[in-house]
Amino acid sequence: MNKRRVVVTGLGALTPIGNNIQEYKQGLANGVSGAAPITRFNAEKFRTRFACEVKGYDPVDHFDRKEARRMDPFTQYALIACDEAIKDSGLNLESINSDRAGVIWGSGIGGLRTFQEEVSTFSNGEGNPRFNPFFIPKMIADISAGYISIKYGFRGPNFVTVSACASATNALVDAMTYIRTGIADIIISGGSEAAVTEAGIGGFNAMKALSERNDSPETASRPFDKDRDGFVLGEGSGALILEDYEHAKARGAKIYAELLGGGMSADAHHITAPHPDGIGASKVMENALRDANLKPQDVDYINVHGTSTPLGDVSETLAIKNIFGEHAYDLNISSTKSMTGHLLGAAGAIEAIASVLAIEHQFVPPTINHFTDDESFDAKLDFTFNQAQEKEINVALSNTFGFGGHNVSIIFQKVTD
């Protein structure tokens, strides 16, 4: 069966370095750090007291108060990014076949703020089981896709993927598959997360996963730096309108890039640590290249998972050298998490957007906060340290890896016809 081509026709973002696509692009190009002291709650007693929060966010700027109270922030973020993406796509919602339009979203945790608040209220009371009637609908991860489909009347495939930090990229691969095989013509895909909460910070602190560089939060996310000490928790959302190529052409849509292929794999190694030899990371990139019908030398840029953790950065680099061989020295590598922090289940969405923007604007976003070389990494690799680079980019690959050993890679290509 001939696979239908899948293209990106709309983008939307709400990130720690920009509250829309234009701001996000500028933040990427200028190497802006989104890390700062936490404002969501009093973090004084926590080992980590900073995060990459969305800046200047007030839900009443986007929703009426009653509506906002019925949605966890992760759903609010999803709707805001989707609204921008739909408008950017130029879709006429009155003329499309809504039965063939769907929503496939990703979130690693879902309504953590809601869960924390409701359980805390119950625990601090007298034991009376008084819960908000919206507790469960606000908390469950799939409610984000539900809200999106209700808003736009999309009656096609509708679900949320949960694969930890690979969730949004998993959603994009699923959406690509549904369009390729003719089940849908249009799918809103991406991911959202809002885990900058006491439970989020405290839980990751307990795992010793977060940076504790409280004296310099803006430089705390430093992938591939010798002194990296963990990731910086981020929040936000990214949305992409994926569309059948012929459908997009017929309506005269702007096409950002083609989603050419995707791959998945499992480390089958450990619940949180990556395989030290990068076996799962190697396999997922190999699978993505095969699905896209590309050779390793066709890739110009890799937006790496690059979380700024001691183990993860090393294993991913080993995998890149294993798959790309000598070509690894000719391509650019960068971790945009150095700027945005780690958005967990939404990371793959904003990093997919960064890859698309790199193709559209022909630049490589930098890996900021590099101060000290680490002998664990091959010095001949181009990690695009500290400053964006102009470069001809026709093909970009984006990696996301999640707790549990979930690995997903996707490949975008510039469309010339």
Instruction: Specify the number of domains making up the chain.
Output: 2
What's the pLDDT score for residue 263?
Answer: 98
Shared-domain flag, residues 234 and 284: no
Q: Assess whether 109 and 186 both reside in one domain.
A: yes
Of these residues, 52, 165, 247, 370, which one is catalytic? 165
Catalytic residue among 52, 82, 247, 305: 305
What angle do helix axes 143-152 and 73-89 make, rounded to 10 degrees?
40
In this structure, the answer to whether residues 175 and 213 fall within a common structural domain is: yes
Q: Are residues 181 and 234 in the same domain?
A: yes
| 82 assigned to active site | no
Catalytic pick from 275, 342, 370, 406? 342
| Residue 259 Cα distances to 10, 41, 89, 285, 327, angstroms | 13, 39, 16, 15, 22
Q: State yes or no: is 305 an active-site residue.
A: yes
List the chain pLDDT tens, one digit each, 417 residues. 578 999 999 999 999 999 999 999 999 999 999 999 999 999 999 999 999 999 999 999 999 999 999 999 999 999 999 999 999 999 999 999 999 999 999 999 999 999 999 988 877 766 677 888 999 999 999 999 999 999 999 999 999 999 999 999 999 999 999 999 999 999 999 999 999 999 999 999 999 999 999 999 999 999 999 999 999 999 999 999 999 999 999 999 999 999 999 999 999 999 999 999 999 999 999 999 999 999 999 999 999 999 999 999 999 999 999 999 999 999 999 999 999 999 999 999 999 999 999 999 999 999 999 999 999 899 999 999 999 999 999 999 999 999 999 999 999 999 987
pTM of the complete model beyond 0.85? yes
Active site residue 165: yes
* 86 and 141 assigned to the same domain: yes
Domain boundary among 220, 250, 280: 250
| Same domain flag for 215 and 311 | no
Residues 226 and 271 in one domain: no
157 neighbors 100 (Cβ within 8 angstroms): no
Q: Which two tokens stand for residue 113?
A: 């703020």
The answer as to whether 257 is a domain residue is no
- The answer on 178 and 48 residing in a single domain is yes
Residues 228 and 285 occupy one common structural domain: no
Residue 205 and residue 278 in one domain: no
Query: In the prediction, which pLDDT does 114 show?
Result: 96
pLDDT at 248: 98
CATH number at residue 95: 3.40.47.10
Look up the domain containing 227 and give its range: 6-250
Check residue 127 and give its pLDDT: 62
Q: What is the pLDDT of residue 123?
A: 72
Q: In this structure, what are the phi and psi dihedrals at residue 102, rounded to the nearest 5 degrees?
A: -135, 180
Q: What is the pLDDT of residue 125?
A: 67
Out of 194, 219, 250, a domain closes at 250
Q: What are phi and psi of 242, to 5 degrees?
A: -100, 140
DSSP 3-state of 241 = strand
221, 250, 279 - which closes a domain: 250
Q: Are residues 101 and 177 in the same domain?
A: yes
Enclosing H/E stretch for 172 = helix 167-180
Q: What is the DSSP letter of 298?
A: G
